[in-house]
Amino acid sequence: MACFDPLRLSEKVEAEVYNEADGRHLRRYWRFRSSRHYGGNNAGDVVGCNLRCAFCWAWKYAFSTRGGEMLSPRDAAKRIARAGPFKTARLTGGEPTIGWEHTRRLAALLVARGYTFILETNGILIGAGLVDPVRIPGGVRVRVSIKAPTPAYFERATGACARGFEFQIKALEALHDAGLRPGIDYWASVVMGVAPRQAYESLLERLARIDPMLASTVEEEYIVLYPHVVELMRRRGFTPRIALTPEGELIDPRKLLGGVGKGEEAYHEDHHVHDKL
Ligand code: SF4
């Protein structure tokens, strides 16, 4: 299966999930909720992403550009404020840097209302120099989720061409160079079990060259074996080396998922945008 260019996919997705007509900067959302992460947060989940991770927990919306509703920054801020009692707000997905002007305005609104704003991103558009989260008044916290530890495993895990891996690293470099504090203002989460341990060690060495604190504050992210995630991994012929059961037990899922077919074309099922590339 041919890999894809995540920047081209970003443009295609943005054309369908973001609308700046009349200066309203509408962005498509599929839900609002609260969760226990970060000591409790109110979250908005956006539709559409520029990667196609084989383990995506939100793939039914992240791989699509449909469903949910288009909201202005002001309306999205109200929905996030109503989603729970917390003063930490989080935008996740989907990829919240797509339709950046919406997200930038939303973050500024929430920060002005006293929220700590956390941007959860795969970093692709930041690393490409197309999005600059540092310029939001009051500041945001940025969690860059690294999907695999090397370019080859990145392509296998996300479907995006291997060179896209560098955008994730460049995002961390850009946040560092802007003077943000690693482990506080920005940090890396790394999806575990996608590659052998040595590959993770080389990634940590690379992060340490950006800033030793960046390597020492890495958040380990584990694939959770929800039925819909297992369904996607089976279609993609993807088996992680380690994963969490929905009950929270860390297991080697290779026996559970063993014998799956190779590389079934799941990409082409739920994301008509990618089909057009
Ligand atoms: S980057 Fe996140 S939202 Fe996008 S496909 Fe990967 S796991 Fe899903």
The response to whether residue 93 sits with its C-beta less than 6 Å from ligand 1 reads: yes
Residue 119 is assigned to a structural domain of this protein: yes
**CB of 52 closer than 6 angstroms to any ligand 1 atom:** yes
Q: In the prediction, which pLDDT does 22 show?
A: 87
Q: Residue 246: what pLDDT?
A: 95
Q: 106 C-alpha to center of ligand 1: Å?
A: 21
Mutating to test ligand 1, I would choose from 49, 153, 167, 189 the residue with most ligand atoms within 8 A of its C-beta, which is 49
**Best mutation site among 10, 30, 31, 53 for ligand 1 pocket (most ligand atoms within 8 Å of CB):** 53
Predicted local confidence at residue 133, as pLDDT: 85
Query: Is residue 226 situated within a structural domain?
Result: no
93 CA closest ligand 1 atom index: 3
Tens-place pLDDT, residues 147-200: 999 999 999 999 999 999 999 999 999 999 999 999 999 999 999 999 999 999
62 Cα to the center of ligand 1, angstroms? 6
CA-to-CA separations, 199 to 146, 147, 156, 204, 241, in angstroms, rounded: 13, 12, 14, 9, 13
pLDDT less than 50: residues of the chain: 259-277
Tokens for 195, please give them.
Answer: 């590659």
- 83 φ, ψ to 5°? -75, -15
- Give the residue whose CA is nearest to atom 3 of ligand 1: 94
Distance from the CA of 49 to the center of ligand 1, in angstroms?
6
Domain count, the chain: 1
Q: Residue 75 is part of which domain span?
A: 6-221
Pairing of strands 141-146, 116-121: parallel
Q: Please report the pLDDT score of residue 262 as a whole number.
A: 40
Residue 162 domain-assigned (yes or no): yes
Distance 58 CA to ligand 1 centre (A): 7
SS3 217: coil
CATH of the domain at 80: 3.20.20.70
Q: What distance lies between CA 271 and its chain's CA centroid?
A: 17
Q: What is the pLDDT of residues 113-125, one digit of tens each?
A: 999 999 999 999 9
Q: Report the candidate in 132, 134, 143, 80 with the shortest Cα–Cα distance to residue 106.
A: 80
For residue 254, tell me if it sits in a domain: no
Q: Is 53 in the pocket of ligand 1 (CB under 6 A)?
A: yes
Within a domain: 228 = no
Q: Is residue 75 part of a domain?
A: yes
Q: Residue 258's pLDDT is what?
A: 66
- Is 151 contained in some domain? yes
Instruction: State pTM to two decimals.
Output: 0.92
94 lines ligand 1 (CB under 6 A): yes
273 lines ligand 1 (CB under 6 A): no
Phi, psi of 246 (to 5 degrees): -60, -20
Structure tokens that stand for 131 in this block: 């999005």
**DSSP code per residue over 120-177:** EE--HHHHTTS--GGGSTT--EEEEEE--SSHHHHHHHHSB-GGGHHHHHHHHHHHHH
- Asked if 44 and 88 count as a contact pair (C-beta separation under 8 A), the reply is no
Atom of ligand 1 nearest to the CA of 58: 8
User: Is 247 within a domain?
Assistant: no
Question: In the prediction, which pLDDT does 275 show?
Answer: 34
